[in-house]
């Protein structure tokens, strides 16, 4: 399995913009962890292994609930973690969905981070 900073950044962005559920992101990260344990993961660039791994480890658990129906990590927490762990690779392209009063997808608004 090959993994790079941009792949991890895309998963963060997909969670933030609603293209991927937190549960899907957790399962993706779990698969990376499993592959790492077998020694078949390659990192690109290799010098960024620690940053890539930090992002994967954050995503592995991004679906943790603190109460029924309430995630431990807010969208703002996820955005801050993406920027802290991935640095300039997370160039603030992600849009955070703002929950409108009407939960229909057509009623969602988005805003740029930063």
- Look at residue 96 and tell me whether its pLDDT is greater than 60: no
The two tokens of residue 105 are 């997808």
pLDDT tens figures, 43-87: 999 999 999 999 999 999 999 999 999 999 999 999 999 999 988
pLDDT of residue 89: 65
Nearest CA among 36, 2, 12 for reference residue 87 = 12
- Look at residue 16 and tell me whether its pLDDT is greater than 80: yes
Contact predicate 5/48, CB 8 Å: yes
pTM of the model: 0.76
Residue 102 or 77, more confident = 77
State the CB neighbour count (10 A cutoff) for residue 49: 14
pLDDT of residue 87: 82
Contact predicate 94/16, CB 8 Å: yes
Cα distances from 105 to residues 10, 33, 60, 74, 79, in angstroms, run: 21, 33, 26, 19, 21
């Amino acid at each position: 399995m090959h993994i790079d900073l941009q792949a991890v950044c895309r998963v963060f962005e997909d969670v933030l913009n609603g293209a991927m559920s937190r549960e899907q992101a957790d399962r993706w990260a779990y698969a990376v962890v499993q592959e790492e344990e077998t020694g078949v993961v390659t990192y690109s660039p290799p010098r960024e292994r620690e940053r890539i791994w930090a992002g994967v480890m954050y995503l592995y658990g991004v679906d943790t609930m603190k109460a029924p129906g309430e995630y431990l990590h807010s969208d703002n927490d996820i955005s801050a973690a993406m920027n802290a762990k991935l640095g300039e690779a997370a160039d603030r392209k992600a849009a955070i969905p703002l929950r409108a009063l009407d939960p229909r997808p057509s009623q969602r608004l988005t805003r740029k981070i930063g």
